[in-house]
Structure 1
């Protein structure tokens, strides 16, 4: 099993830029592989840019993974709220909950690439993203549950309703942490060090106490490069450089973020996040020593050492 009392591990399907080098993934087979290895969740990214960068629609991928599996959680990491009306997102989640027998975990965020062609074509580039996110999160549970809910000046009732899935609020900012307390069941930061997570956990507890709200769970998104070969080490170094360039992290900080190396090193890396307060970790697996499936198996061997 790849989960322990301290930490549960999910794996992200390779449905974005990986397509350029590896082709369209067999989503159903990959989702079953993740489930058979005992992982907690099949994770689906939502990142359509519209500039020729490859990506598959997150809702369709989630539906495919849901019908191909029986027990693993189907987790969005994350749905970008400002790109669609609340009623559209709610209708999709209702259908997915019924297709999956209530296995959906709804990670949401306000980020993405608002200046990209896709955002512009969707009419979302000029939306106030923070306001749109808050307004959607305020009405989404009622819409999913099938309750008569006012949104955008109209009362809507979707049927059949569904159980409201756990909602994880993505983002690393103070605003995202506050939003997680007020609207979410969990906080979903990405590409943070364990020390960053510990500081965020303390802030979550403080805001929850001030607001008289439950403390959200913590699910951390990151990357994994299993393996000990020179190729794997080079891939890790490339990933660290990417973190420095994209997130402005120092070399020391960036080097702490990937889950990489041997099974023992993978287990140790995961354990640092558990100690920092994370309940779950979701990992995009970067294959360096063979196929994606082999890399996921390597990750599973490391995660098993946590049990």
Structure 2
């Protein structure tokens, strides 16, 4: 069974509702999870991801709360572990921990602001992933020659490694329970699924799950809105052709067909990332697509 989640809107995107309203709607609509990005200085205003998820957890009971994705290297690893453990306690073990190294489109200003060289983000992410489970669980862990045990310890949440290529696969083999590719076609997911099966066999471990984020604009969305989203996606290094191929638009039934193709290709979870401004309506339509997907 494939799970469907939705990305919460960043600050100021939906003037009609805040984090709590969006979280409650997602849970009431039957979606599996709610997600938020993690940015220190994005192009547009963005609230702190841990506080957004804590707010969402406080007003819900069932829905999982996910980082899509936490940029570990921007934080001292002990503080990151403290945030994750605290959120596990506040949510009742509902955290899904997506982890990434931070994308180039946002530039290096945030990295310079926290004193972390942009070029070292990969190495620092690897080091943090090595230490994170022990710190979250409250076990004595050595950091730079100092042993510390954080309390209260918590259950280490599933780790989903973001990115692509050899670096992502290497991190996944060492630290991940699943991977988090964004804006992928069914063909790309099928190719990744095959590689993950090989990776599991090489390392004698279960095949990692695939959580894929897709950009959605369901219902009556104008061509101008779609074109604007395509331009935004090309800012992440995608070609216009690839950007259009990964968009999910149209009626919920059409979205369900696309989701079924992703599931058949190997996806275990799909996160809808709405781009129209009426995000509450997008969540409702996404829930309709999820319901249609479950129907025989």
Q: What TM-score does the superposition give when structure 1 sets the normalisation length?
A: 0.90
Please tell me whether residue 11 in structure 1 is matched to residue 6 in structure 2.
Answer: yes
- Asked whether the equivalents of residues 15 and 25 of structure 1 are also in contact (C-alpha less than 8 Å), the reply is no
Residue aligned with 1:87, SS:
helix
Residue aligned with 2:246, SS:
coil
Unaligned 5+ segments in structure 1 are none
- Asked whether the equivalents of residues 230 and 240 of structure 2 are also in contact (C-alpha less than 8 Å), the reply is no
Q: 1:270 aligns with which of 228, 237, 259?
A: 259
1:298/1:24 CA distance change after superposition, 3 Å: closer
More displaced, 29-38 or 208-217? 208-217
Please tell me whether residue 236 in structure 1 is matched to residue 236 in structure 2.
Answer: no
- Asked whether the equivalents of residues 272 and 286 of structure 2 are also in contact (C-alpha less than 8 Å), the reply is no
Q: How does 1:112-151 map to 2 (within 5 A)?
A: 112-113=103-104, 115-126=107-118, 128-151=120-143
Deviation of the 1:48 alpha carbon: 2.2
Structure 1 residue aligned with 2:248: 259
Q: What TM-score does the superposition give when structure 2 sets the normalisation length?
A: 0.93
Structure 1 residue aligned with 2:291: 304
Residue aligned with 1:155, SS:
strand
d(CA) in 2 for partners of 1:79, 1:216:
19
d(CA) in 1 for partners of 2:19, 2:165:
32
Q: Which runs of structure 1 show a deviation greater than 3 angstroms over 4 or more consecutive aligned residues?
A: 21-25, 112-116, 231-234
Deviations 1:72-124 (A, max 9, x none): 00000000011011111100111100000000111111123574332211112
d(CA) in 2 for partners of 1:126, 1:15:
24
Q: 2:76 aligns with which of 78, 85, 88?
A: 85
- Asked whether the equivalents of residues 14 and 279 of structure 2 are also in contact (C-alpha less than 8 Å), the reply is no
d(CA) in 1 for partners of 2:255, 2:208:
26
Deviation of the 1:33 alpha carbon: 0.7
d(CA) in 2 for partners of 1:248, 1:293:
28
Please tell me whether residue 282 in structure 1 is matched to residue 271 in structure 2.
Answer: yes
Residue aligned with 2:40, SS:
coil
- Asked whether the equivalents of residues 212 and 271 of structure 2 are also in contact (C-alpha less than 8 Å), the reply is yes
1:128/1:295 CA distance change after superposition, 3 Å: same
Q: How does 1:129-208 map to 2 (within 5 A)?
A: 129-208=121-200
d(CA) in 2 for partners of 1:302, 1:235:
20
Residue aligned with 1:256, SS:
helix
1:222/1:48 CA distance change after superposition, 3 Å: farther
d(CA) in 1 for partners of 2:42, 2:223:
32
- Asked whether the equivalents of residues 50 and 116 of structure 1 are also in contact (C-alpha less than 8 Å), the reply is no
d(CA) in 2 for partners of 1:216, 1:50:
30
Unaligned 5+ segments in structure 2 are none
Structure 1 residue aligned with 2:47: 56
Residue aligned with 1:165, SS:
coil
